[in-house]
């Protein structure tokens, strides 16, 4: 879905999905603590390309309608863990009490992280598309290379099994990605259409500059919001 299509469909139905859940209307981070399993991007050359893409999109008229994630937080989520406030049966692990404390939830998920074996295939991905407008965000979609694909998906499944979260909606068809930004207000249709055109150009440049991205480690992290992910444990990935 293009940004213009999303604005057309949703602009008269309240604010963007993550407004006041991830960021407020001024772009300030909103507390939404939890834990997750990710792979940060540490290569400065890769970060330069990604942050240049962010800057080019942010400079558009519609770019001011997004809260852009900082360079240090850019990552690929290998397995989305828990947001403490989301405790419905569909999003909470089997084997963990629904009223578990934050400390207990962290300990439970860290144990699952430690139990899941990292595959012996490298984690190498190819940027494919910008997406996420249906969820009022902007992400760079990633496709695993032929060598990496079985291991990346198997690792995600192993983490889900260890955590008792294989039932969670969206698990099976999850698309690996790097989140760039979250919408905090609706742009005009004209601004959204212009943004879509720039996005196409930026994507072509990113794909030319980054035919693949390699991740070096898997990290169990805590977070208070979407701008910082504190690494609590890490495992090397195959190279």
pLDDT tens per residue across span 45-74? 999 999 999 999 999 999 999 999 999 999
For residues 117, 119, 120, 124, the Cα torsion angle rounded to the nearest 10 degrees is: -140
Residue 134's pLDDT is what?
Answer: 86
Unique residue bearing structure tokens 């998906």: 153
Using the CB atoms, write b or e for 76-105: b if 16+ within 10 Å: bbbbbbbbeeeeeeeebbeebeeebeeeeb
First to last CA, the chain: 35
Q: What is the pLDDT of residue 93?
A: 97
Instruction: Give per-residue burial for 175-184: e unless 16+ CB within 10 Å, then b.
Output: ebbbbbbbbb
pLDDT at 149: 87
The whole-number pLDDT of residue 158 equals 96
**Is it the case that residue 185 has pLDDT exceeding 90?**
yes
Q: How confident is the model at residue 154 (pLDDT cuts 50, 70, 90)?
A: very high
Q: What is the pTM of this model?
A: 0.95
Q: Which residue has the tokens 């979609």?
A: 141
With 90 as the cut, is the pLDDT of residue 219 above it? yes
pLDDT band at 10 (very low <50, low <70, confident <90, very high): confident
Residue 124 is inside which H or E element, if any? strand 123-131
Distances (CA, A) of 222 to 214, 227, 237: 23, 11, 20
What gap in Å lies between CA 2 and CA 151, rounded to an integer? 31
* Alpha helix stretches (DSSP H) within the chain: 3-10, 44-58, 102-115, 149-163, 189-209
The answer to whether residue 13 scores a pLDDT higher than 80 is: no
**Residue-averaged pLDDT of the chain:** 95
Supply the pLDDT for residue 61: 98
Measured CA to CA, the distance from residue 141 to residue 125 in angstroms comes to: 10
At 147 the pLDDT is 85
Q: What are the pLDDT digits (tens) for 166-179?
A: 999 999 999 999 99
Residue carrying the six token digits 């720039």: 198
Residues 106-125 have a mean pLDDT of 95
- Return the pLDDT at 11: 66
Using CB atoms within 10 Å of the CB of residue 224, give its burial: 0 to 12 exposed, 13 to 18 middle, 19+ buried.
middle
């Amino acid at each position: 879905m293009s940004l213009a299509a999303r604005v057309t469909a949703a602009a008269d139905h309240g604010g963007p999905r993550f407004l006041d859940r991830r960021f407020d209307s001024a772009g300030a981070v909103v507390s939404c603590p939890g834990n997750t399993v990710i792979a940060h991007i540490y290569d400065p050359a890769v970060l330069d390309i990604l942050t240049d893409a962010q800057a080019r999109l942010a400079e558009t008229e519609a770019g001011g309608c997004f809260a852009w994630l900082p360079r240090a937080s850019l990552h690929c989520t290998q397995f989305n863990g828990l947001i403490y406030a989301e405790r419905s049966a569909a999003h909470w692990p089997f084997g963990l009490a629904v009223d578990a404390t934050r400390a207990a939830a962290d300990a439970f998920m860290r144990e699952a992280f430690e139990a899941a074996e990292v595959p012996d295939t490298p984690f190498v991905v190819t940027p494919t598309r910008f997406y996420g407008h249906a969820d009022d965000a902007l992400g760079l979609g990633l496709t695993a290379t032929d060598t990496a694909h079985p291991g990346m998906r198997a690792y995600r499944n192993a983490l889900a099994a260890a955590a008792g979260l294989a039932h969670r909606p969206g698990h099976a068809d999850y698309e690996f990605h790097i989140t760039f930004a979250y919408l905090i207000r609706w742009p005009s249709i004209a601004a959204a259409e212009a943004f879509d055109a720039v996005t196409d150009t930026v994507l072509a440049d990113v794909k030319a500059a980054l035919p693949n991205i390699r991740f070096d480690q898997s990290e169990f992290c805590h977070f208070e919001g979407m701008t910082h992910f504190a690494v609590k444990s890490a495992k090397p990935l195959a190279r």
